[in-house]
Structure 1
Amino acid sequence: MERGSTLFLKVTVFLIGIPVLAICIFVIPEIANYIVELYPDHTYLKYFVCIDLYATVIPYYIALYHAFKLLGYIDKNQAFSDLAVTALKHIKTCALVISALFVLGMPLFYLFAERDDSPGVIVVGMVFIFASMVIAVFAAVLQKLLKNAIDIKSENDLTV
Structure 2
Amino acid sequence: MERGSTLILKAAVFLIGLAVLALSIFGVPVIAKDAIEAFPDHWVYPIVIAMYAAAIPFYIALYQAFKLLGYIDKNEAFSELSVEALKKIKYCAIAISLLHAACLPFLFLIADEDDAPGLILFGMVIPVASIVIAVFAAVLQKLLKNAIDIKSENDLTV
TM-score, normalised to structure 2's length?
0.93
Check whether the contact 2:39–2:110 (CA below 8 A) recurs between aligned residues. Answer: no
User: Deviations for 1:86-107, whole angstroms, at most 9, x for unmatched residues?
Assistant: 0000000000000000110112
| Residue type of the alignment partner of 1:11 | A
Other structure's SS at 1:90 match: helix
Check whether the contact 1:33–1:46 (CA below 8 A) recurs between aligned residues. Answer: no
Structure 2 CA distance for aligned equivalents of residues 64 and 110 of structure 1: 30
Structure 1 CA distance for aligned equivalents of residues 85 and 37 of structure 2: 42
Structure 1 CA distance for aligned equivalents of residues 108 and 26 of structure 2: 22
C-alpha displacement at 1:29, in angstroms?
Answer: 1.4
Check whether the contact 1:70–1:87 (CA below 8 A) recurs between aligned residues. Answer: yes
Q: Which residue matches 1:111?
A: 109
C-alpha displacement at 1:3, in angstroms?
Answer: 3.0
Structure 2 CA distance for aligned equivalents of residues 117 and 2 of structure 1: 55
Q: Which residue matches 2:35?
A: 35
Query: Is 1:158 the counterpart of 2:156 in the alignment?
Result: yes
Other structure's SS at 1:108 match: helix
Q: Which residue matches 1:138?
A: 136
Q: Which residue matches 2:21?
A: 21
Stretches of structure 2 lacking an aligned partner (at least 5 in a row): none
| Residue type of the alignment partner of 1:72 | G
Name the stretch that deviates more: 26-35 or 77-86.
26-35
Q: How many residues align?
A: 158
TM-score, normalised to structure 1's length?
0.91
Q: Which residue matches 1:84?
A: 82
Structure 2 CA distance for aligned equivalents of residues 61 and 7 of structure 1: 19
Structure 1 stretches (4+) deviating beyond 6 angstroms?
A: none
Stretches of structure 1 lacking an aligned partner (at least 5 in a row): none
C-alpha displacement at 1:15, in angstroms?
Answer: 0.7
